[in-house]
Amino acid sequence: MEGVAKVASLFVYPIKSCRGISVSQALLTPSGFRWDRNWLIVNYKGRAYTQRVEPKLALIEVELPKDAFLEDWEPTDNSYMVIKAPGMEGLKVSLSKPQEIADGVSVWEWSGSALDEGEEASKWFTNYLGKPSRLVRFNAASETRPVDPEYAPGHTTMFSDLFPFMLISQGSLDALNKLLREPVPISRFRPNIFVDGCEPYAEDLWTEIRINKFTFQGVKLCSRCKIYFGQNMVWKNTHTEGKGKIIKVGDPIFVLRKVSSAAEAAA
């Protein structure tokens, strides 16, 4: 059985709506890649800021320790996420879990409590955005955020929009860019898994794929104002025992099940 495509890039977005990190391998968890959308910037009411409302978020760069993407790595007291933005001093946020709780945090349809990253982070984001802001971290110890049960019952995510994984192909990006006056980079669409080697929009038909030894289910096309672009996915065999829950750039993709036309894809 030959792969129909291969993993070209993997992206992790530690802070929702800020820049992603391109990684050579990513560790799977049931709610998304490790570190993906673990943090959120909220306003004084606890509502999530997104790029739709605050486009300046797209300029915020996030760095994690290189080893943070290794399977067995755990943060120490000296492990930091470093946040940078134009005209701002860098901000260091400890990767040790904060103690303070922020209640009434909400992102789209979900609300609950989160961990508050404290005053220094709050001042930094408040200064950068010019309005009261706080940085909060998903509190996996006390909260769960189920995805839409109509599409993927029993699955959860952290602060991503709707589902834990998003896959897009190079072929689809190339086809889209032929229609645009100004071509756009893949970073505009914020996928986690970027694949190459398949036909444009082939991923729209994939309802079950395998990468490495892991099965992903394509559950819903990603709706973006005027078009569908990208396939939302969940990791199916999350109970896999043992180590090595990693996918890497270069891994082949095997399609296990697909629909015969885009009209049949869940949207």
Nearest to 15 by CA among 148, 114, 155: 114
Q: Is the alpha carbon torsion for 27, 39, 222, 220 positive or negative?
A: positive
Pairing of strands 246-248, 25-29: antiparallel
| Per-residue pLDDT, 226 | 65
Per-residue pLDDT band for 225 (boundaries 50, 70, 90) equals low
Mean pLDDT of 128-135: 97
| Per-residue pLDDT, 144 | 95
Nearest to 116 by CA among 140, 95, 93, 134: 134
Is pLDDT at 253 greater than 80 in this prediction? Answer: yes
Each residue's pLDDT tens digit, 104-128: 999 998 999 999 999 999 999 999 9
Is pLDDT at 266 greater than 90 in this prediction? Answer: no
Of the chain, the percentage scoring pLDDT greater than 70 comes to 99
Is pLDDT at 2 greater than 80 in this prediction? Answer: no
| Report field, pTM of the whole predicted structure over 0.75 | yes
Each residue's pLDDT tens digit, 8-42: 999 999 999 999 999 999 999 999 999 999 999 99
